[in-house]
Amino acid sequence: MQMPDPPETHKEFIRRFPKLGEAWALLGEAGADGPLPEKTVRLLKLALACGAMREGAVHSSVRKALAMGISAEEIEQVVAISAATLGLPGTVAVYSWVRDVLEESGE
């Protein structure tokens, strides 16, 4: 599976601060090392991005989920599940960020 390229700003930041890029990569690898299936890990990362209200991380998580073959319906269910925690205004904001990527990808 081919993961999408990160945004240019991310690449520029990593070029400017390579040690932070290395540390970031190690954190991702260490967190994914365990018994959970890759799809579950990706959906959890999306849920965490939603809960933290991080627009860029939501965009990234949706792009990566789509690249893994995760359906738009599964992605949207993660947003719906978050409503009880985020409340309606936060959930609608997150939904709009998810829709940004889904529409961009033709989903």
Task: Evaluate if residue 51 carries a pLDDT over 90.
Answer: yes
pLDDT class for 102, splitting at 50, 70, 90? very high
The CATH classification number of 8-104 equals 1.20.1290.10
- Residue 1 pLDDT: 65
For the chain, the structural domain boundaries read 8-104
The predicted model scores a pTM of 0.87
For the chain, give the secondary structure using H, E and C. Answer: CCCCCCCHHHHHHHHHCHHHHHHHHHHHHHHHCCCCCHHHHHHHHHHHHHHCCCHHHHHHHHHHHHHCCCCHHHHHHHHHHHHHHHHHHHHHHHHHHHHHHHHHCCC
